[in-house]
Amino acid sequence: DTGVSQDPRHKITKRGQNVTFRCDPISEHNRLYWYRQTLGQGPEFLTYFQNEAQLEKSRLLSDRFSAERPKGSFSTLEIQRTEQGDSAMYLCASSPGALLGEQYFGPGTRLTVT
Amino acid sequence: TQLLEQSPQFLSIQEGENLTVYCNSSSVFSSLQWYRQEPGEGPVLLVTVVTGGEVKKLKRLTFQFGDARKDSSLHITAAQPGDTGLYLCAGGTMNRDDKIIFGKGTRLHILP
């Protein structure tokens, strides 16, 4: 299966700790997106990359959040000094980019901050 | 601010019934997607519509894009328990930021 993969699937951390999530997109897709989803809500856009360039960041992405896609392949999302409000599902999606919005999602990383 | 409003928020019906859920906005979208999401998983792309008035069918699911490309509907015929899930619509615009926005979804439960 060559779909989008995310690691880890679940992460429990204590408040104040740093966490890093990884996303491996579909190999030929040049766009990669990060979203956050809380219970009862749709995914909220965080940021996206075209190849290795980070083109857009949401205002939701505070200074504690940083994302990278160093070689235009996999991406990492780091949250520093986690807070309980960061508890959510973090979703990664990739897109071939030809048609805006046609995205293929990974299974997500469920973060719980205690 | 662009918003996509989905209705109803929740829908619970008996197996075999028909249903329609809606996705509305005051903004024009260059394309609109429908996804289905199951608990603990990422959304799965069902369809993309691009042209105003476009209708696409996927087995028992019929998707329509409004003529003005501001709204869309999803109709399910003879619903089955396997249709249970969260249905999300998402819209993209060809602005500089190329951002995609999601609605909050319709949570559908089909009773056997």
pLDDT, tens digit (0-9, with 9 covering 90-100), for B82-93: 999 999 999 877
Q: Which chain B residues contact residue A107 at CB under 8 A?
A: 40-42
- Tell me what pLDDT residue A71 has: 87
Nearest CA in chain B to A43: B102
Q: Which two tokens stand for residue B99?
A: 């951002």
Query: Mean pLDDT of all residues in chain A?
Result: 92
- Tell me what pLDDT residue A66 has: 94
Buried b (16+ CB within 10 A) or exposed e, B1-13: eeebebeeeebee
Look-up of token digits 């779909």 = A3
Min Cα separation A49/chain B (Å): 11
**Closest by Cα among B20, B26, B17 to B69:** B26
Min Cα separation A42/chain B (Å): 4
Q: What is the pLDDT of residues B61-81, one digit of tens each?
A: 999 999 999 999 999 999 999
Residues A60, A67 contacting (CB under 8 angstroms): no
Q: Band of the pLDDT at A69, cuts 50, 70, 90?
A: very high
Buried b (16+ CB within 10 A) or exposed e, A7-31: eeeebebeeeeebebebbbbeebbb
Min Cα separation A81/chain B (Å): 25
- Tell me what pLDDT residue B1 has: 58
- Tell me what pLDDT residue A98 has: 63
Q: Which chain B residues contact residue A3 at CB under 8 A?
A: none
Q: Do β-strands B61-65 and B31-37 pair in parallel, antiparallel, or remain unpaired? A: unpaired
Record: contact A100-B31, CB cut-off 8 A: yes
Record: contact A102-B48, CB cut-off 8 A: yes
- Tell me what pLDDT residue A16 has: 97
User: Which sign, positive or negative, has the C-alpha torsion A63, A21, A44, A97?
Assistant: positive
Q: Which chain A residues contact residue B91 at CB under 8 A?
A: 101
Q: Give the residue with greater pLDDT, A46 vs A56.
A: A46
Cβ–Cβ contact B80 with A under 8 A: no
Sheet holding B19-24, edge to edge: B5-7, B19-24, B71-76, B61-65, B55-58
Residue A60 confidence (pLDDT) above 80 = no
Q: Band of the pLDDT at B21, cuts 50, 70, 90?
A: very high
Residue A40 confidence (pLDDT) above 90 = no
- Tell me what pLDDT residue A100 has: 65
Q: Which residue among B44, B97, B105 places its CB closest to the CB of A42? A: B105
* Radius of gyration, CA atoms only, chain B: 14
Q: Band of the pLDDT at A56, cuts 50, 70, 90?
A: confident
Write phi, then psi, for B83 (nearest 5 degrees).
Answer: -80, -10
- Tell me what pLDDT residue B24 has: 95
- Tell me what pLDDT residue B44 has: 96
E-only strand ranges, chain B: 5-7, 10-14, 19-24, 31-37, 44-49, 55-58, 61-65, 71-76, 85-92, 100-102, 106-111
Which residues, in sequence order, are CB contacts of A43 under 8 Å at separation 6+? A35, A36, A37, A91, B43, B88, B102
